[in-house]
Amino acid sequence: MRPATDADFRTRLQDWLPKLVLAPSFAATLLFVYGFIVFTAVLSFTGSKMLPLYTFVGLENYRKLWALEHWHTALVNIAIFASCYIVICTAVGLMLAIFLDQKIRGEGMLRPIYLYPMALSFIVTGTAWKWFLDPGIGLEKTMRLWGWESFSFTWIKDSNMAIYTIVIAAVWQTSGFVMAMFLAGLRGIDNEILKAAQIDGATSFQLYRRIVIPLLRPAFLSAFVILSHLAIKSYDLVIALTGGGPGRATELPATFMYSYTFTRNQMGIGAASAVMMLMAIAAIMIPYLYSELKEKA
Amino acid sequence: MSAASQETAVSAGRVTRAFIYLVLLLFALYYLLPLYVMAVNSVKPLPEITGGNMMSLPRTFTIEPWLSAWSTAQIGVEPTGLKPYFINSILMVAPAVAISTILGALNGYVLTKWRFKYDGIVFGLLLFSCFIPFQIVLIPMAVVLGKLGLAGSVPGLVLVHVVYGLGFTTLYYRNYYAAFPTELVRAAMIDGAGFFRIFWRILLPVSGPITVVSVIWQFTNIWNDFLFGVSFGGTRQPMTVALNNLVQSSTGVKEYNVHFAGAILAALPTLLVYIVAGRYFVRGLMAGSVKG
């Protein structure tokens, strides 16, 4: 009798064990991710100021948010930043990958040089570029000391151009990573296809435009998803490089959310802006993840 | 990949090749310049920076800025240097990386070798959590950490980083184990091996490459995190926050050389990890993301 129940218990435990092992992670994700999303969404409909309050005000926060010029600045900035960042990173990454794929001597030296910025935090990246772009000690001064007296590069102090300094630093940090993705894609292409096309008389340019680049589609998609996700989350780089300034010239939704929630004590509006950010990312990520998972299944 | 099989079908002319080399070198310069500027200027006395050229090598070599950044520089209101924050970061990173990697490995194992109904949905929910903007969880996290008495503590930060790193570690191990032959697991089951024995004896010994990816990914992300550190760090802030406080401090003379030394100190651990194991990281990551 005894051994039978014992074995029974053990097989039942074995049945449950996998789920038990997965349970803590799943529960933590449900609570800390999805529960918190709901929590923030609820707060966005309340009159929370410094602390969460549960007095519901309907869509008031969203109305206020969209009426704020500050928010519009952040949106224009993220549009400029995200599009420049994604396009330039992709272009630079693709170009470097194609060039590196031409049997380059010293490829083993160049690759780590292109890639290492990825290991640095945005705070370090921002600190480095902040001084490099500072007219008083950085590039401008150096050029003048080298004899180019009229050289001027004051974007970081110029409210119309400051957002592009964020692009320069962000491209510096990530483009090497994009290069690695494209390089992996290029190395995965069957050379027979290329040779066949060449025998048919295709020029290098045609070869890349018509055959290689279309074959890199998965790499383009991954790059786009990773870059847009990084762009919307960008917070630290702005803090370190410009602090959102000059004035509010480089404010992004991420910095907007932080300052409204934690320094201006407008938690309801901050929560509403976070919900807008989540919706933007979800619009990009959900179709991508859905197609990825479907393909694998 | 041998050199012979990698023969590029496209052969370019002499001028084109020269152009390609030129572009590649210019970009190498673009990537190296900021690091060069930081390194060179971190060993110059201050007057040489403000009065000289940031590109030139130091005329007077000094390690004073490094010592100052490490142990005496003003961080916020305290003249502690970056040392205590460096320690905070290590105390936070080590357990957070270990816990999230172990859980990720177990999750990946369950999701591929012990499949159950709706496991796809569980994985989808874990996966989407990788991509949320963290702004959406900041307020509730602050509330919950406060309630748990973990606000402004290292365990609090560990918890935060484990929770928001799980999606990535699970993804890595799941994709890796998915390619591992399930027949071997079945055979072991028939031989009477249990859940943990199979994991320990069969899966774990082949998990080296993906563990490198997971550990480096988590280490870099957690070490480099700023948002959670500044929001929940309290008095136990990590290195990134301290560096930002050092650099942004508005009082007194801006000690650029100390800032540069501090920035390199903050970057050193991830740079080292990257230099030592970077090749394996990129290789593993690419194998996962390109093949899907």
* pLDDT tens-digit series, residues A142-162: 888 888 877 878 788 787 888
In chain B, the largest separation of any two C-alpha atoms, in whole Å, equals: 76
Q: Which of residues 223-262 of A touch B (CB under 8 A)?
A: 229, 232-233, 235-236, 239-240, 243, 253-254, 257-258, 261-262
For position B6, what pLDDT does the model report? 42
Domains of chain A listed by start with CATH number: 69-296 (1.10.3720.10)
Give the ranges where A188-266 is alpha helix by DSSP (H): 191-199, 204-206, 213-215, 217-233, 236-241, 253-258
Which residues in chain B are contacts of A185 at CB distance < 8 A? 290
Give the B window 145-204 contacts with A, CB below 8 Å: 162-164, 166-167, 170, 178, 194-196
For residue range B230-256, list pLDDT tens digits in order.
Answer: 988 888 889 999 888 888 876 777 888
Q: How confident is the model at residue B136 (pLDDT cuts 50, 70, 90)?
A: very high
Chain A CB contacts of B23 below 8 Å: 95, 99
For A105-118, how does the pLDDT look when each residue is reduced to its tens digit (9 = 90+)? 888 889 889 989 98
Residue B272, pLDDT above cutoff 70? yes
Cβ of residue B259 closer than 8 Å to a chain A Cβ: yes
pLDDT digits (tens, 9 = 90+) for A81-96: 999 999 999 999 999 9
- pLDDT at position A6 is 65
- ipTM for the complex shown: 0.85
pLDDT, mean of residues B114-121: 86
Contact A21 B106 (CB under 8 A): yes
Burial of A293 (0-12, 13-18, 19+ CB in 10 A): middle
Which tens digits make up the pLDDT trace of B196-220?
899 998 899 988 888 988 999 899 9
Q: Return the half-sphere exposure (C-beta side, CA atoms, 13 A cut-off) of residue A249.
A: 17
Question: How far is A160 from chain B, CA to nearest CA, in Å?
Answer: 22
Q: From CA A73, how far away is CA A278, in angstroms rounded?
A: 18
From chain B, the residues in CB contact with A204 under 8 A are 10, 12
- Which among A22, A96, A296 has the least Cβ separation from residue B122? A22
Position A117 scores a pLDDT of 92
Nearest to A181 among B41, B53, B289 (CB): B289
Give the pLDDT score at B287. Answer: 63
Contact present, B63 and B54 (Cβ < 8 Å): no
Interchain contact A147–B (C-beta under 8 A)? no
pLDDT at residue B2 tops 70? no
Give the pLDDT band of residue B165 (cuts 50, 70, 90). very high
Cβ of A289 and B127 within 8 Å? yes
Lookup result for tokens 């609820």: A42
Q: Judge: A281–B275 Cβ closer than 8 Å, yes or no.
A: no
Instruction: Kindly indicate the confidence band of residue A174, based on its pLDDT and cuts at 50, 70 and 90.
Output: very high
Q: Which residues of B touch A176 (CB under 8 A)?
A: 31
A26-40, A63-77, A187-201, B177-191: least confident range: A187-201
Q: Which of A113, A119, A137 sits opposite B50 (nearest CB)?
A: A137
pLDDT at B7 over 60: no
Task: Give the confidence band of B45 by pLDDT, cuts at 50, 70, 90.
Answer: confident
pLDDT in tens, A16-40: 888 899 999 999 999 999 999 999 9
Q: List, in sequence order, the alpha helices (H) in chain B.
A: 14-41, 46-51, 64-67, 83-113, 119-128, 135-148, 154-178, 182-190, 195-198, 208-224, 227-232, 239-248, 256-291
Q: CA of A92 to nearest chain B CA: how many angstroms apart?
A: 9
What is the pLDDT of chain A when averaged over all its residues? Answer: 86
> In this structure, are residues A132 and A150 in contact, taking their beta carbons and an 8 Å threshold?
no
B9 contacts on A by Cβ (under 8 Å): 191, 194-195, 197-198, 207
Query: Could you state, in order of their start, the residue ranges of all structural domains in chain B?
Result: 14-62, 83-291
Tokens of A12: 């039942």
Q: Does position A244 have pLDDT exceeding 90, yes or no? A: no
> Could you tell me which CATH class the domain B83-291 is placed in?
mainly alpha
Token pair for residue A129? 């570029």
Answer whether B61 touches A (CB < 8 Å). Answer: no
